[in-house]
Structure 1
């Protein structure tokens, strides 16, 4: 099943609850604009290399569109379209004045030198600079990009349009970025995990956690949950799964990751190393946090998943068919459009600070983030209880209702 088809299925489950007519569903679901560009750079060896880039702008009913830039080999139009749609519902669920967008380039950034990556970023900006901006579409980091890529992006965009740091978020703090932006998605995941576990009557120190993916999101979520007394028994990255029955030493793991040339867990000796795919199937895991790629839990492996709670730190990690099976088994799934909304929330705070030419303290960023995420969680929890639906369907119902209302008030639907 393709990514946008999966998003459509989740959307329609909520739309059925809301009794939305078919023509309104299509108006809300289909993107406003899709752009595909050729990005050509000269490699360090002097040869030309061609890549395909995308920017999908899904909806602007509630404000400027917002969404990350992903550099990954699997980036294509279908995935970008699905992720742009998810951003629309995500920003609506946490009640930010944004619509959804997404972009990226089909490339493995590990195959490029730093100089080649900079040239690629600047060439991409050359192709799309006229459709993004602080009042129209504001990109941000995603898989395969970071604050350095955002800095290059901003610099290249400003060559065309002049000084305006609010054109992009996730910038370095020295370049008008927000304190706490790098940790934001992982912190939001951690905050809502703690809240959900309490609501389910479980105890932190007795709830074993496994985190698939130990990149920016997974590592910050691990740090937060470790400090909240959760035993984190397994983490994984492309080098494998690292397991300790009584809990891993997360501070030590983080130090190892920082010291590794590629930021990996490879070579870590104080845990049992298992195959990469083993993490999803571990017994005696209470909380599973997929924090890597989408589509990792599907109909073919869902029966091997034993966790009672799944926190979707990644975008779209559970396929619709698997989601139905998990729901029937009584597994609680906190959906991506709520669970990983911490990143876009602090991106909004960064955008606000840039527009006001004023900088917040880290404490204020964290307080505002925690307040926003907790308020959104309460809205979704109450909606799920009132309508006897899953947390995912409840989150989509809230997002769709808010976007629909904005579109109707503007006379567009």
Structure 2
């Protein structure tokens, strides 16, 4: 019987290896291996046809040792507790590696949002917010969008929480619409961070983004913004995919044209243009390119396909797209991988900017936000690079050692209570 992939076991395996390699304190590390709180809630809502349906929801708060919990909410039919625990753990590591004062959390509801109407999604979001209201807040736990959630979802979270507390509370979540205290640059921040990460690792090897052939798996918010920003900076996008399938063109795809096509309600399987071929997602991952950017879900690059990849770099836009077993294969093959906890951290960095603007009643320009984002990622990249050079390890191990050393040091300084 084939083993079922458990993302939480995968992240623990990688952390254990990083702690050993970095010679970090195992006593304080034990605190980081376990989430501080796991909440499961049942969410009854009235469907449009008058029936009542109950959904399962989760909120896992992994660590607030370095600041308030922070993490998105995803709506997906395969979401379960182990996935949310893994995502919360990755958030703690992500915030630590870019050195912003947040801890990690994550939320999710087991639901296929494509099968619910907008009013049903609103009721579900509001019910979920009501169920977790006691453990979230601007100084406790700040949710944000994730897979299949967006600014509209956050508007419902904000309104529900504010009504329950009797006052406007814009700092309770990030990724909100601009009209409700959202930040300029937030919708594209994760994709922008992925492009910055790609540019940094290419420069490390004496290469430029311009002319680089890129394949992007996933065309949601992160994948689409990554494609557009990289396209505008001269990269050649040779492959893209969404839930309907993948497209490929050796001469490059027009990311702006395809984004407009998708925004009009179409799927990539419907897109036709000269030189474009329709392929499977498995074929897309094996496309000949310089940089492969997985921007979909976890468990995409495994021991089954890692040996056949035809890229030189992997930049993880999704959370946990590569298994620990695949990491070993990629290392042996000399494929350079920039890990998720750094590569896709642009979203949480700009969420931090949004939160700061909310609690201090400020507004910053897009240009200022984009510059601060690049400055933070460039500094974090240098921190990881120093560990990679010292330890002779992969970039994933370097990033994990940086993150875990900060979390463990914070634990040591605070000590145990009581």
Relative to the length of structure 1, the TM-score reads: 0.97
The superposition leaves residues 214-237 of structure 1 with CA deviations (integer Å, 9 ceiling, x where unpaired) of 111011111111122111100011
Report the counterpart of residue 138 of structure 2 in structure 1. Answer: 134
**For the residues of structure 1 that align with 2:401 and 2:140, how far apart are their CA atoms?**
25
Report the counterpart of residue 221 of structure 1 in structure 2. Answer: 226
Secondary structure class of the residue paired with 1:150: helix
Q: CA deviation at 1:22?
A: 4.1
Aligned residue pairs, count: 410
- CA contact 1:70–1:104 (8 Å) conserved in 2: yes
- CA contact 1:241–1:274 (8 Å) conserved in 2: yes
Q: CA deviation at 1:208?
A: 1.1
Secondary structure class of the residue paired with 2:268: coil
**Worse overlay, 47-56 or 264-273:** 264-273
**For the residues of structure 1 that align with 2:208 and 2:408, how far apart are their CA atoms?**
38
- CA contact 2:130–2:160 (8 Å) conserved in 1: yes
Secondary structure class of the residue paired with 2:270: coil
Equivalence map 1:91-106=2 (5 Å): 91-106=95-110
The yes-or-no answer on 1:268 pairing with 2:275 is: no
**For the residues of structure 2 that align with 1:44 and 1:126, how far apart are their CA atoms?**
20
The yes-or-no answer on 1:187 pairing with 2:177 is: no
Q: CA deviation at 1:304?
A: 2.0
The superposition leaves residues 185-235 of structure 1 with CA deviations (integer Å, 9 ceiling, x where unpaired) of 000001110111111223434421100001110111111111221111000
Report the counterpart of residue 281 of structure 1 in structure 2. Answer: 286
CA RMSD in angstroms, aligned pairs only: 1.2
Q: Gaps (5+ residues) in structure 2?
A: none
Report the counterpart of residue 94 of structure 2 in structure 1. Answer: 90
The superposition leaves residues 287-328 of structure 1 with CA deviations (integer Å, 9 ceiling, x where unpaired) of 000000100011112122111100000000000000111011
- CA contact 1:30–1:58 (8 Å) conserved in 2: yes
Report the counterpart of residue 197 of structure 1 in structure 2. Answer: 202
Report the counterpart of residue 16 of structure 2 in structure 1. Answer: 12
- CA contact 2:84–2:108 (8 Å) conserved in 1: yes
Equivalence map 1:228-243=2 (5 Å): 228-243=233-248
Of 169, 175, 188, the match for 2:180: 175
**For the residues of structure 2 that align with 1:27 and 1:330, how far apart are their CA atoms?**
34
Report the counterpart of residue 371 of structure 1 in structure 2. Answer: 375
- CA contact 2:29–2:408 (8 Å) conserved in 1: no
Q: CA deviation at 1:43?
A: 0.6
The yes-or-no answer on 1:388 pairing with 2:388 is: no
**For the residues of structure 1 that align with 2:45 and 2:339, how far apart are their CA atoms?**
38
